[in-house]
């Protein structure tokens, strides 16, 4: 959070590993007759939620805009957008960009689509287009939240 304290906007990418192995091997794990050993996982820290908590605690200016991304799949508990809404509520960020992944979507493609969810309850569909166009649409939404109201972030200046 110390670097975020100097930023007007913090944009966090998706695809950070949610889990990591509990332990690592000291040497190469050899093949054996028993097959591969199970890998026990533990949860990684929630970086996005941690930034929001730091802002709430005053370690980051309250006007800092925090944007998260959610690469989601639907399942028996809900669709992509349902999971995105729940994630926005859990994370507490200002904007959450949600997109479906899997079955040829998002990864390894030139085009993408998704939704932009705001903490104020607005939901904006991001229609299919190039990833560059999608990024431009996301940045337009971010710009509208920057505190000076002009739609342009105020540069941070450091004095010695």
Question: Hey, what domains does the chain have and what are their CATH numbers?
Answer: 4-16+42-143 (3.40.50.10300)
β-bridge partners, 72: 100
Q: Tell me how far apart the alpha carbons of residues 67 and 60 are, in angstroms, rounded to a whole number.
A: 14
Helix (H) or strand (E) holding 53: helix 47-56
What's the CA gap between 56 and 59, in Å, rounded?
Answer: 8
* pLDDT the model gives residue 42: 94
CA distance 88 to 5: 22
According to DSSP, the residues that pair with 12 across neighbouring strands are none
d(CA 71, CA 15): 7
Segment 92-141, tens digit of pLDDT: 999 999 987 766 555 666 777 889 999 999 999 988 878 888 889 999 99
Does 6 or 48 have the greater pLDDT score?
48
Query: pTM score, two decimals?
Result: 0.77
């Amino acid at each position: 959070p110390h670097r975020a304290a100097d930023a007007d906007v913090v944009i966090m990418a998706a695809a950070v590993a949610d889990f990591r192995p509990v332990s690592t091997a000291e040497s190469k794990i050899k093949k054996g007759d028993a097959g591969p050993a199970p890998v026990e996982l533990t949860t990684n820290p929630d970086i996005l939620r941690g930034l929001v908590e730091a802002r709430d605690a005053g370690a980051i200016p309250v006007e800092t805009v925090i944007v998260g991304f959610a690469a989601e799949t639907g399942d028996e508990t809900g669709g992509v957008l349902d999971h995105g809404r729940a994630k926005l509520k859990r994370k507490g960020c200002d904007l959450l960009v949600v997109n479906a992944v899997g079955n040829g979507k998002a990864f390894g493609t030139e085009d993408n689509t998704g939704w932009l969810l705001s903490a104020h309850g607005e939901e904006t569909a991001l229609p299919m287009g190039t990833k560059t166009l999608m990024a431009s649409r996301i940045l337009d939404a971010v710009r509208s939240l920057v505190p000076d109201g002009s739609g342009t972030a105020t540069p941070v200046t450091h004095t010695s």
